[in-house]
Amino acid sequence: MGGGNGQKAKMAREKNAEKQRAAGKGSQLEANKKAMSIQCKVCLQTFISTTSEEKCKEHAEAKHPKTDLTVAFPHLKK
């Protein structure tokens, strides 16, 4: 009665959706990687590029109190 075709089409659709999900995940990971553009030069921890100066200071003061802020985060040098 043609029921087999419907089943095949459904499977194909699901396979496609899976592919698209996988591709989307990959590009999201790539975007995340690119966004991690601030790095603490002392412990090499990375931060997203939108991390505020305040947050960087917090990190430096908490983790590296003996190190100058601009040594850990040279981009904050004025």
Contact set with Zn ion (CB under 5 A): 40, 42-43, 45, 63
51, amino acid identity = T
Of residues 35 and 39, the one with the C-beta less far from Zn ion: 39
The residue number with the shortest CB distance to Zn ion is 40
Shortest distance, CB of residue 41 to Zn ion, whole angstroms?
8
Antiparallel, parallel or unpaired: β 46-47 and 38-39? antiparallel
Collapsed DSSP state (helix, strand, coil) of residue 47: strand
Closer Cβ to Zn ion, 17 or 43, answer by number: 43
Q: Alpha-carbon distance 19 to 5, whole Å?
A: 21
